[in-house]
Structure 1
Amino acid sequence: MKTSQSSAQSDSAALLGLSGRIAKRFLTDRITPLIALALLLLGLFAVLVTPKEEEPQINVTMANVLIPFPGATVNDVEQMVSVPAEQVLSQIHGVEHVMSVSQAGLSVITVQFEVGVPRTEALVRLYDVVNANQDWLPMGLGTLPPVVKPKGIDDVPIVAFTLTSSRTENQALHLEHWAHQIESDLKRVAGTREVRTIGAAGRTIRVQVDPRRMAARGFTLSEVYGVLSTANAGSPVGELLSGEQSVAVQTGPFIQNRADVENLVVGIRQAEPVYLRDLAQVTDGPEQLAQSVWSAQKTGYQAGVLQPAVTIAVTKKPGENAVVVAQKLLAQMDSLKANRLPKDISVSVSRNYGHTADQKAKQLIQKLLFATASVVALVYLALGRREALIVGAAVVLTLAATMFASWAYGFTINRVSLFALIFSIGILVDDAIVVVENIHRHRHLHPNKTLLELIPGAVDEVGGPTILATFTVIAALLPMAFVSGLMGPYMSPIPINASMGMLLSLAIAFVVTPWMSAKWMRFDSQAHGASGPDDHQVKGLSAKLLPLLQTIFKPFLDEQKGRFARWMLSFGVAAAIALSVLLPVTGLVVLKMLPFDNKSEFQVMVDMPEGTRIEKTQAVLRALSDRLMKDPNVTDVQLYAGTAAPINFNGLVRQYYFRQQPHLGDIQVNLLEKSDRKLQSHQIAAGLREDLVAIGKPFGANVKVVEVPPGPPVLAPIVAEIYGPTEQGRLALASQVREALQQTAHVVDIDDSLVAAGPKHFLVIDRRKVNLMGVSQATIVQTLRAGLSGFEASHLRDGSKYPVPVQIRLPELNQQSLKDLLSLTVRTSTREAVAIGQFVSVVDAQREQTRYRKDLLPMSFVTADVSGGSDSPLYGLFGSRAQVADLKGADGKPIDEYFISQPTDPYKGYAIKWDGEWQVTYETFRDMGAAYAVGLVLIYLLVVAHFGSYLMPLVIMAPIPLTIIGVMPGHALLGAQFTATSMIGMIALAGIIVRNSILLVDFIRLQTDAGMPFKQAVVLSAATRAQPIVLTALAAMLGALFILDDPIFNGLAISLLFGILVSTLLTLVVIPLLYFVLFKPKGA
């Protein structure tokens, strides 16, 4: 008898497939609970060690190559420096774009590497090429050596402190001194990378020479410079040997303070020494105003009043936990305030990305827990308490394993990776639900078997379809990991984490879930009653649905009228798909790259006409800040004039760190916490824009409200790149395009590369005169530059952390007069001091326009944004095309428009290349479309391999088009924009919904193979598989429900919610009917 039972068990095991054998192997093995425990511990380890940050770290490396060319015109800089430099730098492997900006005396070439090129590798290539090709700049040309300044995501500060003081005298220097003092204290915090003070006044010894006093004593500026430059000559000169002891000898002294500078002897006149104080006023204080920072807060000292300030910006090292580093920095600053900083200095935190990252992480982890609990509650209602406990444990183990896999892959804990887990909850639970539900069903079907006997068979019955369904979801998701551009790595945690989670959930469903079912499920045959094969496996929900489904299927399976009914159903489904597709075409569903996020900050950028003094720029900023501080949602503002605010990722890409001129300003606006305000940041910024633009208009200021983009940033939402054969023609066309955009509804913040021309005096040196009188042209140029711009002749040796320069220049009052400037003297060959005015003639002109080039082509550009209406730059761009189409170039010919790449022949005429968000949108949707197509092909191949039929995959994949019936109307119903995350949801649906088809088709095949009539198997498939299909659908919808309120990912949630709802309901009817039509046996 025992031999007979053993033989039966052996035969049963032999009949099991892979999944059944795995379940049987681990069902009673003592290693199984240890595996579960190990997964939990690995997940806990991952949560503790994985760095946290708000956004994914995108490996995008940029570098600016600065090549000074003193005295050169813009045309010389472009043709002699920028053009050859571009040709050299564009040969570097991995470079995506090479752009140059040529201005008088300076060329700035920006090299942007492809996303994903490692920073170190990129910079090594760049330095190698720059060093190997310096012969493109001849020695005698007059250019200075190239300076390479790399930039990357790690150059974005995570914390910024703003310091103000209640002192009234020497406030600027006082703040600068203490900011510099505590820089090293902040740098000691583990994980910090760079600590930099912004807005420091800069202590300077200013030697303000009086042209009249110098002329009266017969001295020149060059002689004053010579005295200052040699005043610090001193060094060790050797050692005296005196017996057995040597004595060191050193010369000196050095200049250490203002008095030392004042008492320098410039020369002898009438047998009397002439001191520097006799020729100039020497001051020790802040350098001439060129930059400033002001701050105002609604709370604290002098609430609402603008105060002079400095900002200390701190970046973190790559891979460090932003939350931990920020917390340590705040703790260190608290200690410094208590023990080191003077009591008159107040410190406010004007940026804390660690705090926002921590808030977002906690909020999303909370949602993750709620989503898990909701799915468990769903299983409890459908299957029972013990089954819910098993599914819940399987989900927790899967999440723990996925967190560890995500850490091992190199992902951080950020908003996208956490959203990936929340989104995945609904599909990660599918394997566990299908297995547990089938064990639950078999428990009732086979009351005479023990759990240990029936579990392997129950797992095996759904094992094949579950494996196939898991890999179809992975096939749909994983190709999205290969999306190019900035959007690829930004969204990559979704396909990669979800795919890893699906594989892990499959393994757990076959290894741990059967073991937990055997331990925790209670077998109670009395409660459910005995049942056998004659029940046709119809119990519970299936039994309740069967009469309804029989009624629904009856007209479609009828011999006489069934064909017509099926044709009508097909027509109705096709019409619904067509109408859904038309929704974006008609504008009822708006297309956009990404919706606006709800941030706690935005910026106001101010561009004044070139040549505007910093005092006027400050006046505009103050007027704007007054309006901003009246808004109840604003907590504080920082004003930056002549210097850039601490950059964010948007500022990194747009190169805001170059905004260092006196005519440029920036206001950093901080808002209340999201929980403390009703409006989102986009609504606040949009509501303020009109008032701010109106305030700036009387000053001649171009005011732009810049929000933190929700995803990868671009130069501007709308960019029109202007190409053509001549500079004047490009600038003229840029002006026309600007006017066209101004006439387009909802287009705002319009700007262009044409700088408002400012006046310029061109001093023409008479070479004949200077040669006759023995004066060098270089001496005249250096004297004029020293008088007007200042010249650092030396530095104090007083032990300061930052060297204090000794600077020669004219007094500020004299800098306003060309006459005073030209009264400066130079020494002739006869030792006579002659005024420079005798050697030069003045020609009035206009400042030269900066010239731009991109990828070896000259260009100009126009930028704009969209506010109101659809809020989508795509609609603003295409809305302006009616006006743009009528434009003509300088040659009188119609212009060409390009949307994907630059014009191939820019010399045949004028053209516009549309860029900005459109380019990112095109590339992202192009790549996602390709990923979608690859996913469909992979799903087809997987189904062919499993079923051995070329026709069967068409049946199983039929629900994929049905998803659009839910997706597009869902967006229209909720008034949501169809974004990149919506597309991700559609792609995921392809894999999710195919699982249902596989379960239905596999059941029909099993039942018909067992001898059940074909029609009955078709109807029974929908009834029997309805419970796992509805359960998994509801689980996925519950996971999506918890991301519906997020501004960025609500498109993904809407796609999943409505796509799954509609396609699941249709799948239960359409798939069995399609199988019936295509695979109906003859005579059935």
Structure 2
Amino acid sequence: MISKSLFENGRYLALLVISIFVVGITSYNSLGRQEDPSITPFVATVQTFYPGASPARVESLVTKPLEDALREHPDIQELDSSSINGVSTIIIEADYYLSRAEIKRVWSELRGKIDRVTPDLPEGATKPVFDDDLFTDFVKIIAISADEGIDISPSLLRREALRFADAARKVPQTRRVKHYGLPDEEINVEIDGTALSSLGLSIDDVARTLALADARTPAGRLASPNSALTIEVAGDFADIQGVRDTFIKANPESVSGIRISDVATVTKSETDPPLRLALSNGRRSVFLAVEMKAGYQVDKYSAQFEAFLEDYRANAAEGLTIDTTYDQSGYTEARLAGVAKNIIAGVLIVVAVLFVTLGWRAALIVALSLPLCTLLSMVALNYLEVPIHQLSMTGLVVALGLLVDGSIVVTDEIRKRLLGGDEPLEAMQQAVTRMTVPLVSATATTVLAFTPMAILEGPSGDFLGSLATCVIVMLITSLLLALSVTPALGARLLPGAMTERPAWWRSGIVLPKARDWFATSVDWSLKYPLASVLLAASVPILGFASVSTLTAQFFPGTDRDQLYLRVEMPKSAGIEATLELVRALDDDLRAEPLIRRVDWSVGESPPAFYYNLRSNKRNTPEWAESMVLTYDENQTNALIRKLQTKFDRKYPQAQILVLGIDQGPPVDAPLEVVLYGPNTHTLRVLGEQFRQRLQELPDITHTKLSISPAAPKIEFQLDEEKLRRLGLERTQVAVLVDGYLRGRFGGAVIEDTEQLRVRAKLERDAWQDAEQLLNLQIPVPGQLGKPRFVPLSAVGELEIVPDDAPIGRKDGERINKVQAFLTRGVLPEEALKLLRQSLEKNPIALPDGYRYSFGGDSGEREGVVNDLIGPVGLVMSLLLATIMLTFNSWRLTALAFGVVICAFGLSFLALALFRYPLGIMALVGVVGSIGVAINACIIILTSFQQSPAAASGNRDAMRDEVLDSSRHIISTTLTTFGGFLPLILEGSQFWPPFAMAIAGGVLLSTIISFYLVPPAYVLLGAPQDNRIERAQLKASKGALA
């Protein structure tokens, strides 16, 4: 017995305690630290551009071939796609059961499949871009901009941003640096359309000439017996002047010929219009998002990066501002400090309770077991590579309320035997023998209760898995310490009968009247067992009945000094129109006294500043998104509601969503209806009906359709007869117009390590509106092979018509997603309940072949709950085996199972009494309450079994056993409740439901422990031939023989 060796040799005990402290602290310092768990990259996107193609053509020629190839892979769980005008986007979701290494393998194999399909895509479609970097946990986001009042060119801003990124990558433990809002530079050759047509040339001719003039093709090698020389043709574009000097056509009247500069303006500039923009506090900026290597500590990394940042600022160019827009280390330190503060407060409450109930020496022993257990757990967590973050710390909080049970029970058992006159060694050995089976059984049942959460896969598993792992690890280490170190300490430190004085602070408070009242109540319950069982069972039954009053929730929001805006303009809007609205919004936001900083990304998603935000928008001119910091996290939700109302009224031309930060896996919208069917038009009509039904609900701020109303487009009606006479085809006209407007690339200029492509295009002033487009000159075959030019109006006319609607698909089936967004603070389940009632009262008729399902928070929550329930069969079988091996009685096993069920009802009742929602975190608390309830049940039942008189049904003996166990049961109940009390009183959205489910459930579980378990034992018929008696009888027969 380990505890005996530790008791008899104090040096061993001291060495073990010191070793645990040293190894535990070392392991803690080696653990990674971050604010929240990282989401495994299960999701990737494939984006392909097919300029000018309608959604139907994009779907049939691009999206479907790619989908068919991707669906062949066995590890793909779901495919969602969107085909809009000129763009195909496919969202791939890999199987949740894959490891990170396996996911990388899957992504690599999918890239190969895409490469094999790419040659079959239509001409004009770009190469598909595969992006598996949607969820990135950035530690720092840096904004580089000009000082207030200083104008800086996009070119200089780009160079400074890239220079900073190169320097930041050299900071130790930096994984990568990504840039957002980086200006794209190119060499623009803006050609005079009249001069170009007078020369008989087209944009394609100019681009071809530029490409041929930029000599970069190797001319071979000159090999001889003595040397081998590479041959190159001089004449590549060394600078922008080389582009200007390029000859495009011989001039009969001049020896020099006609150069590019004679018919075009050549400049180095940002792409026009820009693809993306970033604003930081109203100024043009570039965001640099810094990612730390996995497993490192964010606080240490942040200190290193701040030192680098200080040095870099000191040597940066004048007129440049380098700001930190987001720093995860500050949030991490505040979050972990807050949890640590609550843990310390809980520990103090635990020690105070034990000081009163068991005396100061017992309280000291249990207080010492807490850091020992925590530090020993750090060794296991370091081996399992579980970092320290909010959820793993939550696991420590859960375990705090559970792990003291073993130490309290063993300490109290030794205390009682010492006060009864036993020698320390004998008291320790008997206490360990008495409590080993109950403690192992109670620990095993609690570990099994958390097992489904520990093996949960997918984003929810990333979020909850570390919590359950921490609980399981700490429970196991607590059990090991409770059966080894704690008994040795108890036998050495606890007072004996000869030295004990009646002072309450030595042996615990004694309240004779309360004890007499309690004994009387237990006697009554044993005398009238059926009435007592019914009365006690009515409490959890009331809890189950109250479940229907609880509002379901996925994950709670978080109290944070951050919010963000998503702005979506009409599909026809250009990035300049979006930027104009963004500047107006930016002025309004920065005028708010509660807001301290505003940053914007226009045309793309900003860097993710929270672990569950996706950066999945790019090259989207009608899109903008902001990151907003406030001064007071407690007033952020009220500010969100205020801003949403204000912007809806002030800016009706755009859909503006003011959103807060929520916990848990990513959800696109809190309320969502997904319609399935074959016909896009029918899906659009049905979607509009559901959208109107959602809009009628209270607290709905905005609704959105994936098959949205079509944007206008310009359509050329070409005259076939005129085309035939001119010798043109429709495709030729389309290509020529596209070349005039978007330009054609030809050659490139190398500057340092960057390649600036040369784009030849028509002057922008020549095609500002639809009427000017009709004046574009189209080359047609002329006499003697010389082209002649006719205006576009000569071959047809244009009209403004509605564009085709976007087409969405899910696993190969067409869909329309109807999304709704809610007033901040309103639970999605409440709105969903109203929607269900509306649909039941007045259903929306669906044609044959069409159906709908609910997504959003409800769909994700249902998926998580199903995943948690999945392994319940195996867990219940193991739980049954554990309890059966403990009691060796089917009746007692059934009783223990009944206690587990009652524990659920008690936690539900606690939530209902204080009107908390039933979210995933509350369910975690419900599971956690089972441990204490089953622990008390096992202790009482094993005490009955180990007492011959109580086992035979002697009610006085049963009462004495209950009274004997009551002190440590009450102590564990009060310590668990006290440990979670600071979290309940904290008032945040995250902690109180979770803490109340545990603390309230455990407090109410005393009713079950004292007034249901003992009388139920009587009703089940106390078995005379229990295993204790059988063992004693067998031993006596052996002695007689």
Matched, 1:739 2:695: no
**Following the alignment from structure 1 to structure 2, what is the Cα–Cα distance between the partners of residues 540 and 160?**
56
**Following the alignment from structure 2 to structure 1, what is the Cα–Cα distance between the partners of residues 906 and 337?**
32
- Contact 2:207-2:759 within 8 A present in 1 as well: no
- Contact 1:205-1:805 within 8 A present in 2 as well: yes
Number of the residue aligned with 2:456: 483
**Following the alignment from structure 2 to structure 1, what is the Cα–Cα distance between the partners of residues 1018 and 401?**
30
Number of the residue aligned with 2:1016: 1074
Partner SS for 2:656: strand
For residue 946 of structure 1, report the CA deviation from its aligned partner: 1.7
Matched, 1:111 2:92: yes
Number of the residue aligned with 1:660: 619
- Contact 1:160-1:314 within 8 A present in 2 as well: yes
Number of the residue aligned with 2:556: 595
Matched, 1:265 2:271: no
- Contact 1:747-1:866 within 8 A present in 2 as well: yes
- Choose which of 56, 60, 64 in structure 1 pairs with 2:45: 64
**Following the alignment from structure 1 to structure 2, what is the Cα–Cα distance between the partners of residues 1010 and 553?**
14
**Following the alignment from structure 1 to structure 2, what is the Cα–Cα distance between the partners of residues 591 and 493?**
23
- Contact 1:66-1:108 within 8 A present in 2 as well: yes
- Choose which of 8, 11, 27 in structure 1 pairs with 2:7: 27
Number of the residue aligned with 1:810: 762
**Following the alignment from structure 2 to structure 1, what is the Cα–Cα distance between the partners of residues 2 and 547?**
48
- Choose which of 56, 63, 68 in structure 2 pairs with 1:82: 63
For residue 651 of structure 1, report the CA deviation from its aligned partner: 6.7
**Following the alignment from structure 1 to structure 2, what is the Cα–Cα distance between the partners of residues 826 and 650?**
54
Number of the residue aligned with 1:7: none
Residue deviations 1:266-325 (CA, integer Å, cap 9, x gap): 21234222222221122232221334545454xxxxxxxx22222112223343433333
Residue deviations 1:59-96 (CA, integer Å, cap 9, x gap): 23222233445554322332343234323322322322
Matched, 1:164 2:145: yes
Q: Cα–Cα, structure 1 residues 677 and 61, in superposed 2: closer, same or farther, change >3 Å?
A: closer
User: Structure 2 counterpart of 1:626, which letter?
Assistant: D
User: Structure 1 counterpart of 2:33, which letter?
Assistant: K
- 1:829-978 equivalences under 5 Å are 830-835=785-790, 837=792, 838-839=794-795, 841-867=797-823, 871-885=826-840, 894-895=845-846, 908-929=848-869, 937-964=877-904, 966-978=906-918
- 1:285-684 equivalences under 5 Å are 285-291=269-275, 293-295=277-279, 297=281, 306-339=282-315, 341-446=316-421, 449-523=422-496, 525-528=498-501, 541=510, 545-558=514-527, 562=528, 566-585=529-548, 587=549, 589-648=550-609, 653=614, 656-672=615-631, 676-679=632-635, 681-684=636-639
- Contact 1:196-1:312 within 8 A present in 2 as well: yes
**Following the alignment from structure 1 to structure 2, what is the Cα–Cα distance between the partners of residues 400 and 42?**
8
User: Structure 2 counterpart of 1:580, which letter?
Assistant: G
For residue 211 of structure 1, report the CA deviation from its aligned partner: 0.9
Identify which range, 613-622 or 768-777, moves more after superposition: 768-777
- Choose which of 931, 936, 956 in structure 2 pairs with 1:1016: 956
For residue 773 of structure 1, report the CA deviation from its aligned partner: 5.4
Q: Alignment length, in residue pairs?
A: 1011
- Choose which of 680, 702, 712 in structure 2 pairs with 1:759: 712
- Contact 1:137-1:143 within 8 A present in 2 as well: no
User: Structure 2 counterpart of 1:269, which letter?
Assistant: N
TM-score by length of 2: 0.91
Number of the residue aligned with 2:179: 197
- Choose which of 681, 685, 688 in structure 1 pairs with 2:640: 685
Q: What percentage of residue pairs aligned between the two structures are identical? A: 20
**Following the alignment from structure 1 to structure 2, what is the Cα–Cα distance between the partners of residues 843 and 928?**
57
**Following the alignment from structure 1 to structure 2, what is the Cα–Cα distance between the partners of residues 440 and 760?**
86
Matched, 1:99 2:85: no
Identify which range, 595-604 or 350-359, moves more after superposition: 350-359
**Following the alignment from structure 2 to structure 1, what is the Cα–Cα distance between the partners of residues 593 and 799?**
53
- Contact 1:235-1:252 within 8 A present in 2 as well: no
**Following the alignment from structure 2 to structure 1, what is the Cα–Cα distance between the partners of residues 663 and 736?**
51
User: Structure 1 counterpart of 2:684, which letter?
Assistant: L
Q: Cα–Cα, structure 1 residues 1011 and 766, in superposed 2: closer, same or farther, change >3 Å?
A: closer
**Following the alignment from structure 1 to structure 2, what is the Cα–Cα distance between the partners of residues 230 and 1058?**
79
Matched, 1:787 2:740: yes
Q: Cα–Cα, structure 1 residues 92 and 593, in superposed 2: closer, same or farther, change >3 Å?
A: same
**Following the alignment from structure 2 to structure 1, what is the Cα–Cα distance between the partners of residues 771 and 124?**
31
Matched, 1:229 2:188: no
- Choose which of 159, 169, 172 in structure 2 pairs with 1:187: 169
- Contact 2:135-2:613 within 8 A present in 1 as well: no
Matched, 1:995 2:935: yes
The root-mean-square deviation of aligned C-alpha atoms, in Å, is: 3.1
**Following the alignment from structure 1 to structure 2, what is the Cα–Cα distance between the partners of residues 120 and 514?**
45
**Following the alignment from structure 2 to structure 1, what is the Cα–Cα distance between the partners of residues 484 and 596?**
54
Residue deviations 1:368-391 (CA, integer Å, cap 9, x gap): 333334323332333233322222
**Following the alignment from structure 1 to structure 2, what is the Cα–Cα distance between the partners of residues 797 and 365?**
55
For residue 741 of structure 1, report the CA deviation from its aligned partner: 0.3
Q: Cα–Cα, structure 1 residues 1061 and 845, in superposed 2: closer, same or farther, change >3 Å?
A: same
**Following the alignment from structure 2 to structure 1, what is the Cα–Cα distance between the partners of residues 224 and 960?**
113
- Contact 2:357-2:508 within 8 A present in 1 as well: no
**Following the alignment from structure 2 to structure 1, what is the Cα–Cα distance between the partners of residues 120 and 567?**
40
User: Structure 1 counterpart of 2:604, which letter?
Assistant: T
Matched, 1:280 2:261: no
For residue 607 of structure 1, report the CA deviation from its aligned partner: 1.0
User: Structure 2 counterpart of 1:286, which letter?
Assistant: E
For residue 165 of structure 1, report the CA deviation from its aligned partner: 0.7
- Choose which of 643, 660, 671 in structure 2 pairs with 1:707: 660
Identify which range, 431-440 or 194-203, moves more after superposition: 194-203
Q: Cα–Cα, structure 1 residues 934 and 1057, in superposed 2: closer, same or farther, change >3 Å?
A: farther
Q: Cα–Cα, structure 1 residues 850 and 1041, in superposed 2: closer, same or farther, change >3 Å?
A: same
- Contact 1:65-1:146 within 8 A present in 2 as well: no
Partner SS for 2:703: strand
User: Structure 2 counterpart of 1:805, which letter?
Assistant: R
- Contact 1:265-1:275 within 8 A present in 2 as well: yes
**Which runs of no fewer than 5 residues in structure 1 stay unpaired?**
1-20, 298-305, 531-537, 896-906
Number of the residue aligned with 1:8: none
Partner SS for 2:697: coil
- Contact 2:599-2:627 within 8 A present in 1 as well: yes
User: Structure 1 counterpart of 2:302, which letter?
Assistant: A
Q: Cα–Cα, structure 1 residues 242 and 1033, in superposed 2: closer, same or farther, change >3 Å?
A: closer
Partner SS for 2:235: coil
User: Structure 2 counterpart of 1:58, which letter?
Assistant: I
**Following the alignment from structure 2 to structure 1, what is the Cα–Cα distance between the partners of residues 502 and 616?**
76
**Following the alignment from structure 2 to structure 1, what is the Cα–Cα distance between the partners of residues 853 and 712?**
32
Partner SS for 2:694: helix
Q: Cα–Cα, structure 1 residues 886 and 214, in superposed 2: closer, same or farther, change >3 Å?
A: farther
For residue 873 of structure 1, report the CA deviation from its aligned partner: 0.9
**Which runs of no fewer than 5 residues in structure 2 stay unpaired?**
1025-1041
**Following the alignment from structure 2 to structure 1, what is the Cα–Cα distance between the partners of residues 496 and 245?**
103
Partner SS for 1:797: strand
Q: Cα–Cα, structure 1 residues 137 and 347, in superposed 2: closer, same or farther, change >3 Å?
A: closer
**Following the alignment from structure 1 to structure 2, what is the Cα–Cα distance between the partners of residues 242 and 851?**
63
- Contact 1:989-1:1056 within 8 A present in 2 as well: yes
Partner SS for 2:553: coil
- Contact 1:621-1:667 within 8 A present in 2 as well: no
Partner SS for 2:1012: helix
Partner SS for 1:350: strand
